[in-house]
Structure 1
Amino acid sequence: MMHPAPPASPPRTPRPTLQNVLRRAHLRLAFVAVAMAAVSLIVVAVIALRAYAGNNLHLLARSLGYTVEAALVFGDRIAATEEIGLIAKDEDVAEIVVTDSKSRPFAAWKLPAASTIARLEREVADVALPGPVTVQVVHDGNVVGYVTVRGQGHQFFGFLLGGVGGILACLSVSVLGAYVSSKRVLRNIVAPLRALAGVAHAVRRERAFERRVEPAAIAELNELNDDFNALLDEFENWQNTLRHENASLEHKATHDALTGLPNRGQFEARLMRALGEAAVPEQQVAVLYLDCDRFKEINDCLGHEAGDAVLIGIAARLRMQLREADLVARLGGDEFAVMLAPVRETASATRIAEDILCAMVPSIALSDGRTVSAMVSIGIALYPDHAIDAIGLLRAADAAMYRAKRARPGSWQFAEGVAGPA
């Protein structure tokens, strides 16, 4: 048995989004506001400009009548032409005609044809402004002539352009108002999403895991922000852990594990940088190469634990004798190096070497209560007297240290070329 097919569901009518609905409403409001502003401006401007232009032409015609009165009485056409020309060039007029009492031409002035804009101004004036104004020229109660003035329309054209500008300004204000209104309506919806996207971009591009999203007014968006902030907390903790691990690895790579002093690699890098800086002010850099005289004996007789205690004690005493700008490092085994930068005189290096030797005189206490004496021999090399690079300075100081050890353990020697201690 055939069952009838179910009726087809009617097609769903697409519904506009909230943003589209609000945008259309704001656009309608903007167009209505602009239309009202345009109509108001046009009506007010035409009425005001016609009245202004008519009054201005009447005043100008009367002024011209007073000016050419004498010329009309005495029949001086040249004087009348000159006088109306002098006045007309400073006024917004296109034509001036002076006639005698019998309306016969007496003098005239006409604005010469100029640019296309000037012709357009005249055409607009003929349509929009009042027609020519004619006034009588009276002398002793008798009419001696007439003055007819026709406006140019330059000022009217300027006002017209100003009206267009006003309309555009109203349009701008209306668009701005629509934008502000739309922004206020959509703030609770769009702003939280944009803030969330901004933080996500900052995290992805700049690794700014410390950024957080502000609470939102809408419950669902606020819950989304809370979840996103919790995720950022986890990322930030993970990043901080990585930073600490990287810092620890970097410290281990550049420092001695036993004494905590910089190792040979860091010492040589710092020494090369100091040599580059000392080359400019012409200052000296001193390198002290130190070696423990009885370290092998201590290791063999008292054990490696005692040897480690001696190395730690030597490192601590070296730190106490140096300035903040100086650098002490463990190069390996029982060998240490000190960089003094800057050094203004040779005596500074020798004085610090003496201080180091004096600091090594007291015995070092071991963990089992015993004490051990640890002397060091020191070799001193100066830049640029003994070498001009880091490797050369270390070699010169190393050689001087071995000469001091052979001559008298627990003493210091300069590199070759400078006299040692007496």
Structure 2
Amino acid sequence: MIGLFRRKRVAHSRPTLGKVLQRMNLSLALIAVGTAGIFLTLVALLALRAYANHNLHLIARSISYTVEAAVVFDDRSAAREALMLIASNEEVSEAKILNKDGRLLAYWHHPKDGPLHGLEQLVARWAMPEAIELPINHEGKLVGKVWLSSHGGSLLRFLLRGLAGIIACLALSTLCALILSRRMLHGIVRSLNDIANVAHVVRSDRSFGQRVPSAPIAELHELSNDFNGLLEELETWQAHLKQENDSLTHRATHDSLTGLPNRAFFEGQLSHALSHITPEEKLAVLFIDGDRFKEVNDSHGHAAGDAVLTTIAGRIRSQLRDGDVVARMGGDEFAVLLSPVRRQADVTRIADKIIDSMTQPVALPNQQQVIASLSIGIAFYPDHAATSQGLLHEADDAMYQAKHRYHGGWRLAIQK
């Protein structure tokens, strides 16, 4: 029991084919979309870095042209105003204007506020181009320098939008993969489930008449046809075995000459009837033996004796009810089981009918006729015995009394 429980628990813990295939489809979809998203983001990031570097040079040139006069005349106020006007509208983190001696004339930096300032600085440090420095010339002479560093705000916004786009694509691809995988797996899993269900029914119920329906997929359709072909062969083999078993069972429990049940079958039926009889019911056993049967064998041969036995069997059977049992016990001995019975008179009337049926002559194979007679012993349950062997013994004794003391007819067993 513990081993069976463990096997069932292990079987339940295993994933189904549908879940495995669905998981594979989802993994492939997520890997494909994720890889494509990361690759596109990296390409866009490199392109944006190049664009930012070019833009930073353009801003530096614009500032250089604008502050040229202020640097020449060393006008700090004009230089600061021009620098702030341009830098505040561009993606600039810090800006400096220096004279030709390296002295600072103007300085501007992006306001260090906002919830994403630290993240913007981190992005600018790792992803944006390095700070640039351009000369300020006047009439071909160097009069100063412009120093600029990039601000990471735009790049951060791009990365956040890219991340949101990747997440949206992953969610959409997951949904599409689920829908498509379910549609794809429906035909596969349904066909395999049909085969598994039929195999389970065949194994548990031995019902080889089951058939697997056709599958929409070519390989699974061929598998279903092969499985159905195997079931057809098994069904044919099972029918053959059943026929053989029925034949062997009939041979083991029936007499080959008369077709009646034999002693083993009769004793089994008698034991079964005794085990199911109620206290209010009765049961009767008739033990029947042919009179002068040896004389027929000696005078007319074994073929004549077989004809007499066959006739006796048929005439006894014709006097019984549908539920009664008659068997050949061996030689010219027969036994009858009457169950249930209500009155003794009903049993004796049947015994009289069996004896009277033998008044008609029996036709022999040599065209002659003989008159056969029977002796019958009757025993009742529970009046004469309470077991199957006891009832047969008492009925046999009563038959012996009828044959040797009363020269035929029927006799009741002696009540003890």
- What TM-score comes out, normalization by structure 2 length? 0.57
Q: Distance in 2 between matches of 1:284 and 1:193?
A: 58
> Offset of 1:207 from its aligned partner?
2.9
Q: Corresponding residue for 1:32?
A: none
The AA in structure 1 aligned to 2:389 is: I
Counterpart Cα distance in 1 of 2:257 and 2:324 = 20
- Amino acid paired to 1:212: R
Q: CA deviation at 1:416?
A: 1.5
Partner of 2:291: 293
Query: Taking structure 1 as reference, are residues 331 and 180 closer, same or farther at Cα in structure 2, changes over 3 Å only?
Result: farther
Rate the CA distance shift 1:27–1:284 in 2: closer, same or farther, 3 A: farther
**Paired AA for residue 250 in structure 1:** T
Secondary structure at 1:246 match in 2: helix
SS of the residue corresponding to residue 246 of structure 2 reads: helix
Alignment of 1:144-293 (within 5 A): 182-278=181-277, 280-293=278-291
Q: What does residue 325 of structure 2 align with?
A: 327
Aligned mates of 2:30, 2:208 — CA distance in 1: 40
Whether the 8 Å CA contact 1:288–1:380 is kept in 2: the answer is yes
Q: In the aligned structure 1, how far is the partner of 2:319 from the partner of 2:365?
A: 24
Match of 1:70 in 2: none
SS at match of 2:340: strand
| 1:354, distance to aligned residue in structure 2 (A) | 0.3
Distance, in Å, in 2 between the alignment partners of 1:183 and 1:302 is: 85
The one-letter code sitting in structure 2 at the alignment partner of 1:359 is S
Which blocks of at least 5 consecutive residues in structure 2 are unaligned? Answer: 1-19, 32-173
Distance 1:178 1:293, change over 3 A: farther
* Aligned mates of 1:340, 1:386 — CA distance in 2: 15
What are the ranges of 5 or more consecutive residues in structure 1 without an aligned counterpart? 1-16, 29-174
**Superposed CA offset, 1:186-227 (max 9, x none):** 222232123223333443444332221111112232122112
Residues 311-340 of structure 1: CA distance to partner in whole angstroms, max 9, x if unpaired? 111111111100112111111110000111
Relative to 1, partners in 2 of residues 1:344 and 1:176: Cα closer, same or farther, differing over 3 Å? farther
Give the 3-state SS of the residue equivalent to 2:244 in structure 1: helix
CA shift at 1:300, angstroms? 1.1
RMSD of aligned Cα (Å): 2.7
**2-structure distance, mates of 1:272, 1:366:** 37
Work out whether residues 379 and 412 of structure 1, in 8 Å CA contact, stay in contact via their aligned partners in 2. Answer: yes
The 5 Å alignment of 1:14-163 reads 19=22, 22-24=25-27
Say if 1:193 and 1:379 are closer, same or farther in 2 by CA, change over 3 A: same
Would you say 1:373 and 2:371 are equivalent positions? yes
Distance 1:417 1:18 in 2: 80
Q: 1:179 to 1:327 in 2, by over 3 A?
A: farther
Moved more, 177-186 or 345-354: 177-186
SS in 2 for 1:215: coil
Residue identity opposite 1:225 in structure 2: S
Superposition TM-score, scaled by structure 1 size: 0.56
What SS does structure 2 have at the residue aligned with 1:387?
Answer: coil
Q: Distance in 2 between matches of 1:19 and 1:381?
A: 76
Q: Tell me if the contact between 2:22 and 2:178 (Cα under 8 Å) persists in the aligned partners.
A: no
The equivalent residue for 1:347 is 345
**Structure 2 letter corresponding to 1:23:** L
Amino acid at match of 2:332: D
For residues 204 and 272 of structure 2, what CA distance do their matches in structure 1 show? 34
What's 1:416 paired with? 414
Quick check: 1:286–1:343 contact (8 Å CA) kept in 2? yes
Contact conserved, 1:375 with 1:409, CA < 8 A, in 2?
no
Equivalence for 1:112: none
CA contact (8 A) 1:357 1:410 kept: no
Say if 1:224 and 1:344 are closer, same or farther in 2 by CA, change over 3 A. Answer: same
Corresponding residue for residue 51 of structure 2: none
> Do the aligned partners of residues 27 and 394 (structure 1) sit closer, same or farther apart at CA in structure 2, a change above 3 Å counting?
farther
How many Å apart are 1:292 and its aligned residue?
0.4
User: Partner letter of residue 414 of structure 2?
Assistant: E
Aligned to 1:310: 308
User: Structure 1 residues 25, 301: closer, same or farther in 2, change over 3 A?
Assistant: same
Contact 1:401 1:413 in 2 (8 A): yes
Task: Compute the displacement of 1:177 (Å).
Answer: 10
In the alignment, the residues of structure 2 paired with residue 176 and residue 337 of structure 1 have an alpha-carbon distance, to the nearest angstrom, of: 80
Relative distance call for 1:27 and 1:335 in structure 2 (3 A) is farther
CA change 1:315–1:25 in 2 (3 A) is same
Cα distance between partner residues in 2 of 1:315 and 1:176: 80
Q: Distance in 2 between matches of 1:260 and 1:318?
A: 13
Q: Which residue does the alignment assign to 1:139?
A: none
Question: Residue 328 of structure 2 aligns to a residue in which SS?
Answer: strand
